[in-house]
Amino acid sequence: MLTALLTLGILAALIGLILGYAAIRFRVESDPIVDQIDALLPQTQCGQCTFPGCRPYAEAIAAGEADINQCPPGGESTIQALADLLGRDPKPLNPEHGAHAEKSVAIIHEELCIGCTLCIQACPVDAILGAPKQMHTVIAAECTGCKLCVAPCPVECIDMVPVLQTTGNWIWPLPVVDSLVPGAGKLAGGAHG
Amino acid sequence: MNPGSDTTPVREDIIDPRDQLHRFHGGLVLPGHREAVASRPVQAAGIPPRLVLPLKQHIGEAAECLVRPGDRVSKGQMIAAPRGAISMPVHASSSGTVIAVEARPVPHPSGLMAPCIVIETDGRDEWGQASAPLADYREVPVGRLLERIRESGIVGLGGAGFPTQVKLAHRSPDGIDLLVINGVECEPYICCDDRLMRERTGEVLEGVRILQHILKPRHCIIAIEDHMPEAEAAMRAAVGAAAAGNLRVVRVPEIYPTGGERQLIKVLTGREVPSQGFPADIGIICQNVGTAAAVYQAVVHNRPLVSRLVTVTGAGVREPRNLELLLGTSFRHAVETCGGYSSEVDRLLMGGPMMGFAVTTDEVPVIKTTNCILAVTREEMPPSGDLLPCIRCGKCTAVCPADLLPQQLYWHARSGNLDAAQDYNLFDCIECGCCATVCPSHIPLVQYYRHAKAEIWTQEKQKKAADIARRRHEARIARLERVRQERSGRLAERKKSLSGPADQATDAKQAVIQAALERVRKKKEEAGQAPKNMDNLTPEQERLIREIDARRSQKDPPTEH
Ligand code: SF4
Ligand code: SF4
Ligand code: SF4
């Protein structure tokens, strides 16, 4: 009995020591709060929050210089996530920064494009391909829908179009009452568990 | 159950030599609705005038179209090439002319359209020149066989449609203990695998041998549910005749969903596939009997997957039966081949009554994963009763074959608490529909799970896209900074040597833009916006034009009501 207690006691002390040492020896720099906030932002890089991109906004939030409801592309879900992270109350999106809209992508009407490269300079994620005096085009998969390229275009040949619903991005809707969903319907004849 | 067989890797124990079977949790005994259909032989449905072949017929990437309208295609010609690892080619299922590559209705629960290749058939059904059939597959390296299976566009024909060669290439480090050939076909109404095993026993068996050759499993079991004694007898006779070795036929009891991969493995071996893992993780691979037959066609005859057996049934069809249908044949053509709709038809489903989904039009084509076309009447599948609140009766939990807590999943999916739903192993749900079938409150539970799963996938996709955007943005900032430094360095050098007007360049650029603007304006005018019929106007008309111009310049969008 005594030996058992003793062994266990020594073991506990030993493990405690090892753990304590490991905690000091292998300490990782704790994830700075800015990274955590930035991870929740949609990375549209549109500047509607009044900051030049998502990370500067994250820094401002962390420093207490900006509120959590300034990002229209993120909308309610981002505000909720930020509120959860920072332990604050969620609040509605500040309309001064714009309204939440479904994501769209930029399309360049290539027959009108004069190849001035102004849109390339505006794109925060380098999603526009082209060279001086060459027709430009948008890499749709990389476009964040920030709209920043629309205004600079001198010939107004860039349009924002909503992302189409396809069988690939379609989501099963939540059921509506009285839905005729297979699997939810009963087989005539009844089932015996 | 043999205690310890779950943990100790004693390979010989994976199956009981006396075929001692196990039970999975829950499940239902359902009325089969198969007898009449299963007793009729398979009929070929012929060549429809049009074939519509979706570029995406299963999970994974859509294939890339290789043909253009006007192109002639022969039967079996690859008309769309795979794009990415989990992507499969599409082949012309008969000879004819491509008349369109466009969005068409496809069998998908969304009812949306998707890109398809439309072929007008010429009725000759001519195969293209195939490369020489493999003399003897045993002489061919396994990698080449897998390549052939991929080139032939073979996906799991039991329902899920996972690319077959991907599954075959997924090995556990210790090799494969058990290859299960799934002939269970547990969902009511469906009996195409039953007919396949009866009528094309030899093809199935040869396919199994090829799969055995590829995987070299220690054991191989052909599992057949006990509602198809003829199929079982046929397979047993063939296996017995061909000196079976480690290949056996095992009869499993009829409980829905024994045909589910995890459930069948549990029944045969007593083992559980780890949560969110693959059967291969525990040394087991499952293949459907239809897939085995398709592998035979591909490897031995060099024929890609261009047709499949489909059960066309339900009280909404006059003469329900199993058909051999070319991929791309419309559901309507299939139903017409079976005598057309009966007058009371209510809904059309792809798949069985438990796991299938309703389609909105019978124009949709048969695809690789179409195992059943089910036209039901209101009487045989009445709409579920009034939705009532969950009374926590626990019936759903009792029947769940994945051993989940459907009621908890439902609460979390409904309230959008997706993390919690995942903690309750949402992704182990096989969407069998048992829970919804027994729920006394008529809650469409499965749809909640499907919604929650799709929502989680979407969020993951968005997160990935955001990560890419972040990286690209950071790369851009770094690039701009580098350019700025380089430029200021150069500038400093140049300043030393000469000093001149710096903004000439920008002036020149402005001029170019101005000129371009002018060109575009002219072009727009030429394109039809220039005023016409402006000669010989009366003073009254001139006054009107002036007024209109004035109004226009005040208000840009000229939409007045
Ligand atoms: S508004 Fe949102 S998406 Fe746009 S830059 Fe600010 S944080 Fe990023
Ligand atoms: S069967 Fe229906 S009512 Fe009963 S606990 Fe499950 S969800 Fe609730
Ligand atoms: S649908 Fe999912 S939760 Fe419901 S019984 Fe089947 S596996 Fe279980």
DSSP assignment of B412-481: HHHTT-HHHHHHTTGGG-----HHHHH-TT---HHHHHHHHHHHHHHHHHHHHHHHHHHHHHHHHHHHHH
Residue that is written with structure tokens 């070795």 in the block: B245
SS (H, E, C) B31-61: CCCCHHHHCCCCEECCCCCEEEEECCCCCCC
**Is A130 close to ligand 1, i.e. is its CB under 6 Å away?**
no
Which residues of B fall within a CB distance of 8 Å from A45? 469, 473
Ligand 2 centroid–CA B482 distance in Å is 62
Residue of A154, A179, A187 with shortest CB distance to B444: A179
Beta bridge partners of B438: none
Residue B90 host element (H or E): strand B90-91
Write out chain B's pLDDT in tens, 561 residues: 344 344 333 344 566 656 688 999 999 999 989 888 999 999 999 899 999 999 998 877 899 999 999 999 999 999 999 988 888 999 999 999 999 999 999 999 999 999 999 999 999 998 987 666 677 888 888 888 999 999 999 999 987 788 999 888 876 667 889 999 999 988 999 999 999 999 999 999 999 999 999 999 989 999 999 999 999 999 999 888 665 578 889 999 999 999 999 999 999 999 999 988 889 889 999 999 999 999 999 999 989 999 999 999 999 999 999 999 999 999 999 999 999 999 889 999 999 999 999 999 999 999 999 999 999 999 888 887 888 999 999 999 999 999 999 999 999 999 888 999 999 999 999 999 999 999 999 999 999 999 999 999 999 998 999 999 999 999 998 988 998 888 888 888 877 766 545 455 566 667 777 777 777 777 666 655 544 455 566 676 777 667 766 666 565 444 434
Query: Cβ B447–A179 below 8 Å, yes or no?
Result: yes
Give how far Cα B125 sits from Cα of B71, B169, B304, B472, Å: 16, 33, 14, 51
Please write the tens of the pLDDT for every residue from B64-119: 999 999 999 999 999 999 988 888 999 999 999 999 999 999 999 999 999 999 99
**The CATH number fitting domain B8-44+133-305, selected from 3.90.25.10, 3.40.50.300, 3.40.50.620, 3.40.50.11540:** 3.40.50.11540
Cβ distance B384 to A186 less than 8 Å, yes or no, reads: yes
Q: Which residue of B has its CA nearest to A42?
A: B466
d(CA B29, CA B253): 10
Query: Given ligand 3 and candidates B446, B450, B451, B453, which is best to mutate, with the most ligand atoms within 8 Å of its CB?
Result: B446
Residue A1 pLDDT: 60
Nearest residue of A to residue B442, measured between CA atoms: A184
Pairwise CB contact (< 8 Å): A183 & B438: no
Place of tokens 């556990």: B172
Cβ pair B93, B51 in contact under 8 A = yes
CA distance A84 to chain B (A): 14
User: Using CA atoms, how far apart are residues B88 and B105, in angstroms rounded to an integer?
Assistant: 20
Determine whether the interchain pair B513/A126 forms a contact, defined as Cβ–Cβ distance below 8 Å: no
What does the alpha-carbon distance between residue A171 and residue B452 come to, in Å, rounded to a whole number?
A: 9
Least CB-CB distance to B438: which of A172, A175, A191? A191
Tell me which chain B residue has its CA closest to the CA of residue A182.
B357
User: Which of the residues B28, B55, B473, B519 would you substitute to probe the A interface, choosing the one with the greatest number of A C-beta atoms within 10 Å?
Assistant: B473
CA of B112 to the centre of ligand 3 (A): 26
Q: What is the pTM of this model?
A: 0.78
What's the mean pLDDT in A55-74?
92
Answer yes or no: is the C-beta of B410 below 6 A from any ligand 2 atom.
yes
Cα dist from B538 to B195, B407, B431, whole Å: 85, 81, 76
- Reduced to 3 states, what is the DSSP secondary structure of residue B384? coil
Nearest residue (by CA) to ligand 3, atom 3, is B406
Q: Does domain A102-163 have CATH number 1.10.1060.10?
A: no
Residue of A nearest to B103 (CA): A166
Q: How many CA atoms lie within 13 A of B297 on its CB side?
A: 18
Contacts with B560 (C-beta within 8 Å, 6 or more apart), sequence order: none
Element (H, E) at B224: strand B219-225
Helix axes A33-40, A75-86, angle to 10 degrees: 160
- How many CA within 13 A on the CB side of residue A5? 2
| pLDDT for res B223 | 95
Distance between CA B506 and CA B512 in Å, rounded?
A: 10
Calculate Rg over the CA atoms of chain B: 31
Half-sphere exposure of B194 toward its Cβ, with a 13 Å CA cutoff? 27
Classify B162 as helix, strand or coil: coil
> Tokens standing for B457?
């996938």
CA B445 from centroid of its chain's CA atoms: 22
Residue located nearest, by CA, to atom 6 of ligand 1: A49
Cis bond before residue A73 (omega within 30° of 0): no
Taking the C-alpha atoms of residue A73 and residue A144, their distance in angstroms, rounded to an integer, is 10
Yes or no, beta carbons of A183 and B349 under 8 Å apart: no
State in Å: Cα A71 to ligand 1 middle. Answer: 5
Backbone angles phi, psi at B396, to 5 degrees: -60, -40
Scan for tokens 């000129």, then name that residue: B515
pLDDT category of residue A24 using cuts at 50, 70 and 90: low
Query: Tens of pLDDT along A143-193?
Result: 999 999 999 999 999 999 988 888 888 888 888 753 444 443 333 333 333
Counting Cα atoms < 13 Å in the Cβ hemisphere of B331 gives 26
Rounded to whole angstroms, the Cα distance separating B412 from B449 reads 9
Contacts of A54 in chain B (CB under 8 A): 470, 473
pLDDT at B348: 95
Specify the ligand 2 atom closest to the Cα of B388.
3
CATH class entry, domain A33-97: mainly alpha
Neighbours of B549 (CB within 10 A): 11
Do residues B302 and B340 make contact, with C-beta atoms less than 8 angstroms apart?
Answer: no
Name which of A45, A184, A190 is nearest B384 (Cβ-Cβ).
A184
Ligand 2 proximity of B292 Cβ (cutoff 6 Å): no
ipTM associated with this complex: 0.74
Pocket of ligand 2 contains residue B408 by CB under 6 Å: no
Verify whether ligand 2 is closer than 6 Å to residue B448 (CB atom).
no
Give the separation between CA B403 and CA B26, rounded to whole angstroms: 7
Quick one: tokens of B79?
A: 């008309």
User: Are the Cβ atoms of B382 and A188 closer than 8 angstroms?
Assistant: yes
**Are A178 and B29 within 8 A, CB to CB?**
no
H/E stretch holding B183 reads strand B178-183
How far A182 CA lies from chain B's nearest CA (Å)?
Answer: 6
Which residue in B355, B358, B461 is closest to A180 by CB distance?
B358
CB pairs under 8 A between A and B: 170
What is the signed CA dihedral for B552, B553, B558, B561, rounded to 10 degrees?
-70
Q: Do A125 and B447 touch (CB under 8 A)?
A: no
Which pLDDT belongs to residue A134? 80
User: CATH 3.40.50.11540 region(s) of chain B?
Assistant: 8-44+133-305
Q: Cβ atoms within 10 A of the Cβ of B286, count?
A: 27
Give the span between the Cα atoms of A91 and A80, in whole angstroms.
8
The answer to whether the CB atoms of A187 and B30 lie below 8 A apart is yes
pLDDT at B524: 62
Coil/strand/helix, residue A77: helix
One-character DSSP codes across A154-174: TT--EEEEEPPP-TTT--PPP
> Which of B450, B456, B464 best probes binding to A when mutated, by most A CB atoms within 10 angstroms?
B450
Q: Residue B473: its chain A contacts at CB < 8 A?
A: 43, 45, 53-55, 124-125
- Mean pLDDT over A92-121 rounds to 89
CB contact under 8 A, A189 and B442: no
CA–CA distance, B405 with B446 (Å, rounded to integer) = 12
Residue spans per domain, chain A: 33-97, 102-163
The ligand placed nearest to the CA atom of residue B387 is 2
Task: Give residue B155 CA to ligand 2 midpoint distance, Å.
Answer: 36
Q: What is the DSSP letter of B274?
A: P
| CB proximity list for B128: less than 8 A, separation 6 or greater | B74, B75, B76, B77
Q: Is the CB of A47 under 6 A from ligand 1?
A: yes
